[in-house]
């Protein structure tokens, strides 16, 4: 099958692709990690702690059966967005709270621990306002398990070593995470949605929250250069549910024909709309900015 520079995302997530690229413009701000945390907590409430050990294992399947050893690239039912079939990565969801600990229903945090990274990442998102933050631990600062995932509680802004543990916002911004997280904070794929909530085996850990009109913006001055855009084709049935963007930096080896899976109730029935999206991307038609935050 012909390879396209495209990632089709359902409600578009985190963290999940690769460590961000290094070619974005350098922001002007010099905020520290703790100063950025203060901006974040003003919009999302307290930044939570987590340990990768509490995350849900992202399963790897071969012929519908979960396996517990690595397979060659592409040799599993649900490779990640790079085509890899490696076991050990974990993802977790944390309910947002107010300062007093009461639940904050509109805020969700998702942490991601990719096998072998030697750090972890987290995204916080307010589903009402669209305010979003990207956080990443410094490489190798915390103790890790055999998969090089932090296996102790990560520091929060209340801890003295927060600045030592977490990257400053400028260091995150120049990585260009928006190359993938361009139209929504959360990127869904067959790989990551295999991880289910412990109390509901039918619900992915990665929340499905976004709509075509959901607001989306990034907290903090360091991220003002990030382009947040989406494809807008009037009357396209795929875009009535999904908000998609062109990932220019990505030529995925895991080239999925979404006609095999979408729409769920009648796969392949919207092939012409799907082709319209691919043509849009291949012809480099300009995208629109996502709806701004409230």
State residue 256's pLDDT score. Answer: 65
Spatial distance between the Cα atoms of 117 and 89, rounded to a whole number of angstroms: 10
246 pLDDT band (50/70/90 cuts)? low
Spatial distance between the Cα atoms of 170 and 13, rounded to a whole number of angstroms: 21
Segment 240-267 mean pLDDT:
70
CA distances (Å), origin 40, targets 9, 33, 107, 139, 193: 26, 10, 12, 22, 27
Spatial distance between the Cα atoms of 96 and 126, rounded to a whole number of angstroms: 9
Q: Which residues contact 270 (CB under 8 A, 6 or more apart)?
A: 237, 238, 259, 262, 263
Spatial distance between the Cα atoms of 123 and 107, rounded to a whole number of angstroms: 11
Structural domain for 273, as ranges: 33-289
State phi, psi for 42 to the nearest 5 degrees.
Answer: -65, -25
Is the residue at 183 inside a domain?
yes
Segment 154-175 mean pLDDT:
97
Q: What angle do CA 189, 193, 196 make, to 5 degrees?
A: 175
Which segment of 20-24, 189-193, 214-218 scores lowest on mean pLDDT? 20-24
State residue 7's pLDDT score. Answer: 36
Report the domain count for the chain. 1
Is the residue at 20 inside a domain?
no
Is the residue at 141 inside a domain?
yes
DSSP state of 205: S
Is the residue at 15 inside a domain?
no
Q: How many C-beta atoms lie closer than 10 Å to residue 176's C-beta?
A: 20
Model confidence pLDDT, tens digit, residues 38-95: 999 999 999 999 999 999 999 999 999 999 999 999 999 999 888 899 999 999 999 9
pTM as predicted = 0.84
CA distances (Å), origin 66, targets 2, 10, 70: 29, 23, 11
State residue 27's pLDDT score. Answer: 52
Tell me the percentage of the chain whose pLDDT exceeds 90.
61
The answer, yes or no, to whether residue 250 has pLDDT greater than 70, is: no
Model confidence pLDDT, tens digit, residues 118-148: 999 999 999 999 999 999 999 999 999 999 9
State residue 257's pLDDT score. Answer: 75
H or E stretch at 162: helix 162-165
Is the residue at 79 inside a domain?
yes
State residue 8's pLDDT score. Answer: 37
The answer, yes or no, to whether residue 259 has pLDDT greater than 90, is: no
Is the residue at 125 inside a domain?
yes
State phi, psi for 109 to the nearest 5 degrees.
Answer: -120, 140
The answer, yes or no, to whether residue 22 has pLDDT greater than 70, is: no
Is the residue at 28 inside a domain?
no
The answer, yes or no, to whether residue 35 has pLDDT greater than 50, is: yes
Is the residue at 226 inside a domain?
yes
């Amino acid at each position: 099958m012909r390879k396209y520079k495209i990632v089709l995302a359902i409600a578009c997530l985190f963290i999940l692709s690769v460590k961000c690229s290094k070619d974005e413009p350098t922001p002007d701000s010099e905020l520290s990690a703790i100063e950025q945390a203060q901006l974040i907590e003003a919009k999302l409430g307290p930044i939570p702690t987590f340990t990768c050990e509490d995350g849900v294992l992202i399963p790897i399947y071969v012929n519908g059966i979960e396996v517990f050893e690595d397979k060659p690239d592409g040799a599993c039912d649900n490779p990640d967005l790079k085509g890899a079939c490696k076991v050990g990565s974990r993802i977790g969801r944390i309910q947002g709270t107010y300062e007093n600990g009461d639940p904050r229903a509109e805020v969700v945090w998702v942490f991601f621990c990719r096998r072998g990274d030697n750090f972890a990442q987290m995204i916080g998102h307010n589903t009402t306002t669209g305010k979003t933050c990207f956080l990443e631990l410094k490489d190798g600062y915390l103790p890790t398990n055999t998969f090089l995932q932090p296996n102790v509680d990560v520091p929060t802004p209340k801890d003295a070593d927060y600045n030592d543990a977490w990257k400053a916002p400028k260091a995150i911004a120049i990585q260009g995470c928006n190359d993938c997280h361009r139209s929504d904070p959360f990127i869904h794929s067959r790989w990551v949605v295999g991880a289910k909530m412990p109390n509901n085996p039918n619900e992915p850990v990665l929340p499905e929250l976004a709509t075509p009109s959901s607001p989306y913006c990034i907290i903090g001055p360091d991220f003002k250069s990030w382009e947040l855009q989406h494809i807008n084709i009037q009357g396209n049935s795929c875009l009535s549910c999904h908000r998609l963007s062109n990932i220019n930096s990505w030529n995925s080896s895991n080239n999925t024909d979404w006609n095999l899976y979408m729409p769920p109730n009648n796969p392949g029935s919207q092939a012409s709309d799907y082709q319209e999206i691919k043509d849009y991307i291949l012809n480099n038609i300009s995208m629109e900015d996502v709806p701004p935050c409230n």
